[in-house]
């Protein structure tokens, strides 16, 4: 009996198997690269637990933007140790940005939920106003990011808003909380936070706005700086903002109850 000729389906199986095998290898290679990247990031987190950063991802992005207009432009940034930053500014920053800083493990899920509800209500109110031909409410959106999350973003990521970046931010946040003390996290935050166009860190901000050092900031000056944190470039150019003044007054009342490391 003559041998059966292979059918079209049996001839295709080896090719299909090769394609499946290649796809699996590509997936495994991608997973390996992602894991290697996380290990690389964790190494930098360990480094920054002890060494001040010379610059951050957000700083480099801002410098690139500024140098498009002026190639000789430099950032205003100077590191100062935790003990050389006024407790007024530490309390003001915690009161403004992360009231539960000492209690959470990196992510304040209650704050995230409240921010989501607040922003959803604002969006719905804006839709209703527009449908009636009225001006939408001007209340600001609320963020739910903790101080640790902002350190993660500033050090390694960007100000862009997308789910991939946010997911990576969460991973780095837990890395930071694993290896750093709360004091070190707050020290990093106050030194790398953006406080105006090309202005980064408490020392540069204190000199830029008040011609003093970070260690000598008064309660009012500290509250004023902390009030600028959500929109530092805007408030650098709009220092007479009524919202900035009212926000400063509220922070002055909240600061005595803010717990710092």
Q: Tens digit of pLDDT for each residue in 132-160?
A: 666 665 555 555 689 999 999 999 988 77
Directed axis angle between helix 147-156 and helix 57-69, to 10°? 50
Mean pLDDT of the 90-104 span: 95
- Residue 226 pLDDT exceeds 70: yes
Q: What is the residue extent of each domain of the chain? A: 9-48, 54-106+146-261, 109-143
Query: How far is residue 24's CA from residue 32's CA, in Å, rounded to a whole number?
Result: 12
**Window from 4-13, 84-93, 182-191, 242-251 with minimum mean pLDDT:** 4-13
What do you get for the CA distance between the two ends of the chain, in Å? 88
**Window from 106-115, 147-156, 218-227, 231-240 with minimum mean pLDDT:** 106-115
Identify the pLDDT of residue 111.
64
Identify the pLDDT of residue 174.
96
Which tokens hold the place of 27? 């997936």
DSSP secondary structure letters along 29-58: HHHHHHHHHHHHHHHHHHHHTTS--S--HH
**Tokens 């997308």 -> residue:** 162
Higher pLDDT, 112 or 49: 49
pLDDT in tens, 3-47: 555 555 444 567 777 777 787 888 888 888 989 999 999 999 999
Identify the pLDDT of residue 112.
64
Query: How far is residue 121's CA from residue 41's CA, in Å, rounded to a whole number?
Result: 37
- CATH architecture of the domain formed by 54-106+146-261: Orthogonal Bundle (1.10)
What is the average pLDDT score of the chain?
87
């Amino acid at each position: 009996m003559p041998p059966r000729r292979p059918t079209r389906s049996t001839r295709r199986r080896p090719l299909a198997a090769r394609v499946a095998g290649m796809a699996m290898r590509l997936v495994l290679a991608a997973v390996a690269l992602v894991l290697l990247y996380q290990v690389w990031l964790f190494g930098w987190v360990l480094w920054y637990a002890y060494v001040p950063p010379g610059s951050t991802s957000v700083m480099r992005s801002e410098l690139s933007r500024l140098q498009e207009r002026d190639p000789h432009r430099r950032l205003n940034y100077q590191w100062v140790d935790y003990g050389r930053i006024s407790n007024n500014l530490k309390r003001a920053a915690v009161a403004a940005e992360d009231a539960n800083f000492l209690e959470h493990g990196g992510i304040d899920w209650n704050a995230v939920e409240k921010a989501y509800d607040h922003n959803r209500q604002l969006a719905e109110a804006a839709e209703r106003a527009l449908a009636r031909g009225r001006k939408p409410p001007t209340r600001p959106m609320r963020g739910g990011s903790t101080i640790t999350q902002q350190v993660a973003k500033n050090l390694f990521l960007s100000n862009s808003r997308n789910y991939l970046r946010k997911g990576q931010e969460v991973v780095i946040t837990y890395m930071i909380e694993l290896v750093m003390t709360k004091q070190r996290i707050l020290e990093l935050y106050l030194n790398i936070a953006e406080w105006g166009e090309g202005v980064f860190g408490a020392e540069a901000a204190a000199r830029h706005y008040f011609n003093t050092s970070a260690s000598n900031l008064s309660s009012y000056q500290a509250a004023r700086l902390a009030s600028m944190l959500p929109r530092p470039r805007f408030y650098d150019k709009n220092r007479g903002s009524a919202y900035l003044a009212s926000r400063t007054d509220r922070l002055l009342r909240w600061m005595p109850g803010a717990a710092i490391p």
